[in-house]
């Protein structure tokens, strides 16, 4: 019975009231559809830059790899390149005998390692190598002698040794005149004067007569 109207609810009214009231599942479904879906938010992780130590290590590693590869490449190229040693020619021209004054001329020392020595009766070419250990002596014009800077060997103006440990005079290169009258020097053929033995400074080719 309804407390306000005093009417007793009939079975028909109960059925209509039940039809008008939506089930709880439908109400929950409609409420869920009405509310917007929210995505769970995760924690944001910020990446920190590498410390300078790591950067330096990485550079060192890459530099080492690059150096190793470069070395391997150069060795690869060297394997296929010829191993010939290019040296200046041992035969060359140095002008005419009239181009030289009496005494020692040093203008070819740097290029050919020789001195041109001209006396009153001959012209010869001294090979600028000390007979002690192979150093290149210096011409001391003020003292009129050759002096080796290595161990003090001394030679006169004709490269004859007179002091120091040098065992013999300096060698002389072969000289001759070509068809034009120019002096041709061949440093592959040297004339020596060993101590206590027969010398070869007077052999043909050891000098040019004047």
- pLDDT 10s digits, 48-79: 665 666 778 888 888 989 989 998 888 877 77
Residue 175 clears pLDDT 50, i.e. is over it = yes
* Residues 86-104 pLDDT 10s: 567 899 999 999 999 999 9
Please, where are the H alpha helices in the chain?
11-20, 24-34, 52-80, 109-112
* Residues 5-35 pLDDT 10s: 445 555 555 555 555 555 554 444 444 444 4
Residue 36, pLDDT score: 52
Average of per-residue pLDDT values in the chain: 82
Domains of the chain (ranges; CATH) run 91-209 (2.102.10.10)
pLDDT confidence bin for 132, thresholds 50/70/90: very high
Residue 200 clears pLDDT 90, i.e. is over it = yes
Residue 31, pLDDT score: 47
Residue 54, pLDDT score: 75
User: Lowest mean pLDDT: which of 19-33, 132-146, 193-207?
Assistant: 19-33
Dihedrals phi, psi of 63, to nearest 5 degrees: -65, -40
- Pair 146, 140: CB distance under 8 Å: yes
Residue 1, pLDDT score: 46
**pTM of the shown model:** 0.60
């Amino acid at each position: 019975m309804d407390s306000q109207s005093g009417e007793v609810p009939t079975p028909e009214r109960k059925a209509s009231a039940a039809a008008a009231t939506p089930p709880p599942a439908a109400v929950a479904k409609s409420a869920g559809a009405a509310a917007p879906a929210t995505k769970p938010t995760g924690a944001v992780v910020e990446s920190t830059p590498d410390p300078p130590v790591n950067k330096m290590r990485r550079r060192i590693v890459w530099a080492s790899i690059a150096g190793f590869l470069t070395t391997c490449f150069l060795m690869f190229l060297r394997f296929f390149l010829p191993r010939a040693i290019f040296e200046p020619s041992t035969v060359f021209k140095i002008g005419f005998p009239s181009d030289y004054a009496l005494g020692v001329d040093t203008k070819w020392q740097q290029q050919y390692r020789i001195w041109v020595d001209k006396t009153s009766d001959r012209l010869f070419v001294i090979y600028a190598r000390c007979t002690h250990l192979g150093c290149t002596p210096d011409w001391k014009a003020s003292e009129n002698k050759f002096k080796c800077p290595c161990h003090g060997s001394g030679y006169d103006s004709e490269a004859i040794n007179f002091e120091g440990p040098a065992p013999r005079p300096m060698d002389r290169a072969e000289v001759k005149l070509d068809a034009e009258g120019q002096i041709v020097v061949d440093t592959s053929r040297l004339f020596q004067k060993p101590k206590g033995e027969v010398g070869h400074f007077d052999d043909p080719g050891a000098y040019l007569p004047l």
